Each structure stands twice: as C-alpha cells, then as structure tokens.
Amino acid sequence: MFSRVGSSFYRTAAWRLAVRSTAVFAVGSAAVFIVMYVMVARTVRDRSDSWLLGESDTLKQVALNTPRDALYDRVVEEVAEHATREAGDDESEGHPAGNTVFFAQTGDPSHAPVWVGPADSATFLNALSTMKISQGAPVSLQIKGWPAPFRVVAVDMRPGAGRLYLGLLDSISTQLLRHLLARFFLGWVAMVAFGFLITLFGLRRMLKRVDAITSTAASIRPDDLGTRVPAGRQQDEVARLARTFNNMLDRISSSVNQLRTLTDSVAHDLKSPITSVRGSLEIALSLDDREQSSELVARAIEHLDRLSDVITTSLDLAEADGGALRLRRESIDLGELVSRVVELYAPVFADRHQQLCVAAMTTAKIGGDVSLCTRMLSNLMENELHYAGANAVVSVSVSTGEGLASITVEDNGPGFSPELLPRVFQRFVKGAESEGHGLGLAFVSAVAVAHGGRAVARIRPEGGSQIVVKIPLATAATGEERQSADNVLSSR
Amino acid sequence: MRLLVVEDDNTIREFLTRALAESGFRVDACSQGSQAEKLALEGVHDALVIDLTLPDIDGLELIQRLRSQGVTSPVLILSARRSVDERVRGLEKGGDDYMTKPFAVAELQARLRALLRRSTPGQSETTKLRVGDLEIDLIRREARRAGVELQLTQQEFALLEYLCRNAGRVVTRAMVLDHVWKMRIDTSTNIVDVHIHRLRNKVDRESERPLIRTIRGVGYLLRD
C-alpha cells in the first residue's frame, strides 16, 4: 500500500520538477560557496606568506652579517627564536593549537645545520632536503605527523654559504578555514533541503488544483454536465485553466441542451407530419370515392413537402453551425433583390389583411450567394406573415452606411415577447402561438453571419418588432474576384 | 423518346421508370455505373437521368466519362445532396440540369421536356400563344379572353405566359417561382396560390369554362 502510494508520488510532476530545480539550485549554490571559501583561504595564506617573506629576509641579513664564530649559532638562533615567538605562541612539545614556526640553515660545509623549532628536527630536515625549491616564493610542505602543511620559504645565502629555511604552520587560520568549510557545508545542505521542500510543497499545492480539474473532468458524464471546477479568485495560469475548462463545460452543456431540444423538435416536427401522411393515405386506401381519396393523397403530399422543408433548413443550419455553409459569391444588388421579394410577397400580405410596403430603397451591392440571400429574405417575409398579426403594417427598407448594407424589416404588430427577444435567432426557439419550426430566423442569422454580417432583433419603442440584417458591402477587390470567376465560368 | 435512368435505389428507380413510362417515354433503367456506361454508349437514348451516388463509380465521373466518349445526349442529374457547390460542379462536369430529392414528378417531366427541346432545335419561337379562347401576344404583352383584353400586371402576365407555354402540363409551385420570379426558395407558405388566385380572378371569372386548374398536392394546370 505504502509503496504504491510512494511510487505514484515519485511519478508526480511536482516531485520531478522539485528534484530537478533543487539539483540545479544545489550545484549553483555549491559553486558560490566554493568560490567564497577559496577566496577566504587565499587571503589567509597571503597574510602568512608576506610575514614569511619579510622575516626570512631579516634572518638572511642577520646570518650574512654575523661573523662565523662560536657566537654565530647563538645569534642566529636568538633572532630566529625571536621571530618564531613573534608569530607562534607556542613551541612546546606535541602539536599545539597555536602557530608553529621553524627555522633551519643547512648546506654550509663549514658549519653544522642550525635548527630552531619543534623537537623532531630530523623529520623536518629530511622533508626540507627533498622539497622542491621555488626561490623567493613560499611553498606548501607536508610534514609527517602534522595536521596541515607548513608554508615554507627557502632563501639561498651567498654561494657556498648554504640555504636558509623559514616555515610556518598557521594553525589558527587553518582551523578557522576548517570551521568555515564545515559551516558552509551545513548551510548549503540546509539551504538545499529547505529549498527542495518549499519547491515541492509549492508545486504540490499548485498541481493539486490541476488534479482537481482532472478529477472533475473524469467525473463528467453525458447525463451530468453540471459539475464545475473550483476556479478560486486568483488570476494565475491554473485559475485561467480552471476558468477555461468551466467555460468549455458551459459551451458543451449548452450544445448538448441544444441537441436535446433539436432531437425533441425533430421528433415532433417530423413525426407529426409523418403521422398525418400515414393517416391520410390509410384512409384514402379504404375510400371508394375517388375524389375524396385523391383529396387525402394531395394533403399527404403537402405534408411531405413541409417535411422536406424542415429537413432542408435543418441541414442548412447544421452546415452553417459547422462553418461549412459554402457561399457561391457573386455581385448582388440587395436593393433590387429585396424589391423583387417584396413584389412576390405583397399580394400574400394583402390576402391576410396586412400591408407590406417599402419605406426606403437604395442600391446596395454585396458579394453574396443569391440563393441563400433570397431564402433569407423570404424567411424574413414569412416571419412577418406569421407574427405581425392581422392589419399590421410591415415596412422594409434597404440602406447603406459604414461599409454595410442594412435591410430593416419592421412592423407595428405585437413584437417579440421580452423573454424571447435574446434568443430569437436560436434554432427551435419560437413564439408560443407559432406554427413554424423555429428555424426561419435562425436561418436568417446564419446567412448574415456566413456573409460576414449579423442580424439584430429589437422591440420598437412605439411597439412592434424590428429586425435588421447587416451585410458588408462589396469592395472593389471582391468585384474583381467576381469578374475573374465569371471569366472562368464563361470560358467553360 | 428513349430515356436511360441510372439510379441505385430500387424504389426510386422503379417509381421513376413507371412515372416516365406513363408520360410516354421509353425507359431503360440500371443501377450500376459500369452498366450505364455500356448502355449509354449504344447511343440510342435521347436523354439520361443519372443519380450521383452509385455503388461502383461516382455519378459525376460517369458523366465525365460519357462526355469524353462522345455521348452528347442531355443529362439530368439527381442528387440527395443539395449544396450550391455540388450543383455547379455537376453542371461543369457535363450535366445539363440538376434536381435534388425529393422532387415532384411533374417537375422532372417538365425539366426533361425542356432538355429534349433544347437538344432538338428547329422549333420556331412563336409570338402568340393560344389556349382555347385565351390568346396572348408576347410582343405587345397583351392577353385576351374571348376577345376581351385582360388587365394584367407584369407579374400576372409573366405567370400566365409561363402557364400557357406549358399548357396541358402540370407545373409545380417551385417551377413557377423558379421560372416566373427567378427565385429558388422552398416555402410552405401559399405565395404562388395567392398569385394564381389573383390571375384566375381576371382570366376565369367571366368565363364558364375555367382554364386554370389546381392539381392539389402538385401544382397547376392550364388546359382548355
């Protein structure tokens, strides 16, 4: 159980990211600490080196100027001891906590080596005899039994007079550096560990919100689209993800609802005509009277035409929704087209005791699909026929402005009901007393949008409804396009 | 007149064969594109009715092949798809007319007749049409019934002219909209009926023998 939880934890992005960022941080901070340590160590060494150089110079002068008599040893030893005492506090037995200094003079054939320093002089002299000499610059020399290397400067006396060595073990500095190193290391470990935990917890907290989105997404079923991800009040990336996700859910849910409405409507709109067709034909079969039966058959055909109409418009709308409504663009004068449609419909309006009139008309060239535009206009007319009511006056006008052609259709009828107004261009939305399929205005809007325009509905302040369809006017460029398209067609 | 009907749906093929045979055509029918190609290449058909969705080859391709092999008979395309795009492609590939399902048999017959007329030239364009005691002068744009001039609007005259040109044959509402108003709209509203009603009031009111008849569920018929 634990190992399963554990291993799944090690697979999380939080763990992986925390490990990676901590590794980078550890390497970086270690490099900084090392550079700092090296700089401190060099400063400390430089200090002891400069003391060694100065003192060795003094000792050389003393050794050279002192006559080689019985007192020579004493004098040199005296000076060396003085010097060692100056730097080191302790020259007693063992390995002291303080500084240790030694002085040696070797290689003078007329004289025995002089030694001032720790008691085990043989070890030192041995080491000195094998060491590499760098004239005038201190070098490090490790002596057996001592915890740290000595810094040793070797100075040649005049030729034949041998060599003079001065060594210093700066224990205090060494210890200081060691402490520093230990502190640095501990500090580094603490920093890396702390950084790792902070990163890990931060990432865990953030990615838990992502996990919440994941589990919400996993819990969504087609029959339950109500679940939403908690988005919080933050403005960060995860909050944006959550909000985007919620928006997507909203859209899906509205699509699904629309689909449900569609299915219901299709079921209703298709099944009722099918039922009446079937019924009519059944009765027609059983009738002996030919006139009566053909009347029924005719009615069945009319129902079928209506059915075909619903299917056609539904398919067009489905295509328009999918962005697949292909336009066969050509230059159309909307003013002329509207006039023709009005001419076609005017007697129908008169027949229903309504009046259809043209309020204003102008030339409005657009690049559009004639068939779709004609059907759009006929839908607008039929919408008025059905909803404006008896004795209504319907006026149509075409105007241009701001690069748009506007077709305005308004009436003095009952207008849209306020709760319907925002949705009149949606599919299957229809008034309570409507006998239509609720596709007419949806189609109007779809055609307007396909032409780069839009349809707007509103209730006129003086009563009645108003629908305005705006479609961009043809530009010079689309005119040329159309010409070349014409050439292709005519050259066929 | 001999026709070739290429349609893979059995029901539609049988009903087409029957409907066209009843209106006086000799009809050959087949369901496969390859078979259709063989039959069409015999060169005995005056017109072809081709459905676009065939089991073996695409209807458009069949038309193209026939055209490239010298078949010049007019082709009427049938399709369940109804996009403008496809219509234009069909006409570009060598089709002469295009109808989408569902369609009225009367319209199919009318379109076939129109195609056959176009392919057999030599008919002189008349300037006067006469049906019974109705007489219309296409040049002066005047119509007389039993010698009395009828006061018709431009639209009414165009409608009457269309009915007279198709005298004795049924025209559907869609055909009327297409030919008289140059609009292809599907509508369940009785626009055409209103116009016909007005025309009838002027043409048939004074007469005991009405010329314009309504064929319910199909369309209209002008006959003496």
- Give the nearest chain B residue to A492 (CA atoms): B92
Q: Are residues B101 and B176 in the same domain?
A: no
C-alpha of A59 from chain center: 73
- Confidence at residue A435, expressed as pLDDT on a 0 to 100 scale: 66
**Contact yes or no for B142/B151 (Cβ under 8 A):** no
Of the candidates B84, B191, B217, the beta carbon closest to that of A344 is on B191
Query: What CATH code would you report for A11-177?
Result: 3.30.450
Q: Are residues B55 and B104 in the same domain?
A: yes
- Confidence at residue A4, expressed as pLDDT on a 0 to 100 scale: 47
- Confidence at residue A491, expressed as pLDDT on a 0 to 100 scale: 37
| Alpha-carbon gap, residue A350 to A101, rounded angstroms | 127
Q: What is the mean pLDDT of residues A407-411?
A: 94
Across A301-310, A427-436, B64-73, B169-178, least confident range:
A427-436
Partners of B146 in beta bridges: none
Whether B189 and A385 lie within 8 Å, measured CB to CB: yes
Whether A306 and B188 lie within 8 Å, measured CB to CB: yes
**pLDDT band at residue B122 using 50, 70 and 90 as cut-offs:** low
- Confidence at residue B123, expressed as pLDDT on a 0 to 100 scale: 55
Chain B contact for A215, CB < 8 A?
no
Q: Are residues B6 and B58 in the same domain?
A: yes
Across A39-43, A254-258, A381-385, B197-201, least confident range:
A254-258
- Give the nearest chain A residue to B92 (CA atoms): A492
Whether B187 and A382 lie within 8 Å, measured CB to CB: yes
Q: Are residues B102 and B191 in the same domain?
A: no
Q: Are residues B108 and B139 in the same domain?
A: no
Q: What is the mean pLDDT of residues A386-415?
A: 90
Chain B contact for A330, CB < 8 A?
no
ipTM: 0.81
Q: At CB < 8 A and 24+ separation, what contacts does A320-327 make? A: A320/A443, A320/A446, A320/A447, A320/A449, A320/A450, A321/A446, A325/A372, A325/A446, A325/A447, A325/A450, A326/B83, A326/B84, A326/B85, A327/A368, A327/A369, A327/A372, A327/A450, A327/A451
Substitution target from B15, B159, B188, B213 for chain A, most A beta carbons within 10 A: B188
Q: What is the mean pLDDT of residues B128-144?
A: 89
Q: For residue A129, what are the CA distances in angstroms to A135, A141, A165, A170?
A: 15, 11, 10, 22
Listed by start position, the domains of chain A span 11-177, 237-321, 330-491
- Chain A closest-CA separation from residue B204 CA (Å): 19
- Chain A closest-CA separation from residue B2 CA (Å): 28
Residues of chain A contacting residue B88, judged by C-beta atoms under 8 Å apart: 328
Q: Are residues B114 and B132 in the same domain?
A: no
Q: Are residues B53 and B145 in the same domain?
A: no
Q: Which of A104-118, A267-281, A334-348, B117-131 is the most confident on average?
A: A334-348
- Confidence at residue A161, expressed as pLDDT on a 0 to 100 scale: 67
Q: What's chain A's average pLDDT?
A: 81
Substitution target from A308, A309, A336, A486 for chain B, most B beta carbons within 10 A: A308
Of the candidates B84, B102, B177, the beta carbon closest to that of A369 is on B84
Residues of chain B contacting residue A301, judged by C-beta atoms under 8 Å apart: 216-218
Whether B189 and A344 lie within 8 Å, measured CB to CB: no
The contact set of B with A (CB < 8 A) is 82-85, 88, 92, 102, 155, 177, 181-191, 194-195, 197-198, 215-218
- Confidence at residue A476, expressed as pLDDT on a 0 to 100 scale: 53
- Give the nearest chain B residue to A437 (CA atoms): B188
B159: amino acid identity, one letter: L
Tell me: pLDDT of A87 over 90: no
- Is the pTM higher than 0.80? The answer reads no
Substitution target from A281, A290, A291, A301 for chain B, most B beta carbons within 10 A: A301
- Confidence at residue B63, expressed as pLDDT on a 0 to 100 scale: 92
- Chain B closest-CA separation from residue A373 CA (Å): 10
- How confident is the model over A145-202, as pLDDT tens digits? 777 788 888 887 776 667 888 888 877 777 888 888 898 899 999 999 999 999 989 8
Q: Are residues B111 and B198 in the same domain?
A: no
**pLDDT band at residue B75 using 50, 70 and 90 as cut-offs:** very high
Tell me: pLDDT of A107 over 90: no
- Confidence at residue A486, expressed as pLDDT on a 0 to 100 scale: 41
Residues of chain B contacting residue A369, judged by C-beta atoms under 8 Å apart: 84
The structural domain count of chain B equals 2
**pLDDT band at residue A271 using 50, 70 and 90 as cut-offs:** confident
Of the candidates B197, B198, B217, the beta carbon closest to that of A301 is on B217
Q: What is the mean pLDDT of residues A293-304?
A: 86
Tell me: pLDDT of A88 over 70: no
Whether B186 and A298 lie within 8 Å, measured CB to CB: no
- Confidence at residue A480, expressed as pLDDT on a 0 to 100 scale: 42
CATH T-level fold of A330-491: Heat Shock Protein 90 (3.30.565)
Range of the domain at B109: 2-119
- Give the nearest chain B residue to A371 (CA atoms): B184
Where among B119, B143, B162 does a domain terminate?
B119
Chain B contact for A378, CB < 8 A?
yes
Of the candidates A300, A312, A348, the beta carbon closest to that of B194 is on A348
Tell me: pLDDT of A481 over 70: no
| Alpha-carbon gap, residue B107 to B176, rounded angstroms | 10
The CATH number assigned to the domain holding B190 equals 1.10.10.10
Element (H, E) at B138: none
Counting residues of chain B whose pLDDT is more than 70, the rounded percentage is 96
Q: Are residues B105 and B207 in the same domain?
A: no
- How confident is the model over A301-360, as pLDDT tens digits? 888 888 888 788 787 787 777 666 777 888 999 999 999 999 999 999 998 899 999 988
Tell me: pLDDT of A2 over 60: no
- Confidence at residue B66, expressed as pLDDT on a 0 to 100 scale: 92
| Alpha-carbon gap, residue B193 to A351, rounded angstroms | 11
Of the candidates A295, A309, A343, the beta carbon closest to that of B155 is on A343
Q: What is the mean pLDDT of residues B100-112?
A: 87
Query: What CATH code would you report for A237-321?
Result: 1.10.287
Q: For residue A95, what are the CA distances in angstroms to A100, A180, A302?
A: 8, 21, 120
Tell me: pLDDT of B25 over 50: yes
Q: Are residues B66 and B47 in the same domain?
A: yes
Q: Are residues B146 and B78 in the same domain?
A: no
- For residue A274, what are its two tokens? 């099918």
Q: How many CB atoms lie within 10 A of CB B89?
A: 15
Of the candidates B83, B184, B216, the beta carbon closest to that of A295 is on B216
- Confidence at residue A433, expressed as pLDDT on a 0 to 100 scale: 66
Q: Are residues B115 and B135 in the same domain?
A: no
Of the candidates B82, B182, B191, the beta carbon closest to that of A348 is on B191
Q: What's chain B's average pLDDT?
A: 87
Q: What is the mean pLDDT of residues A439-453?
A: 89
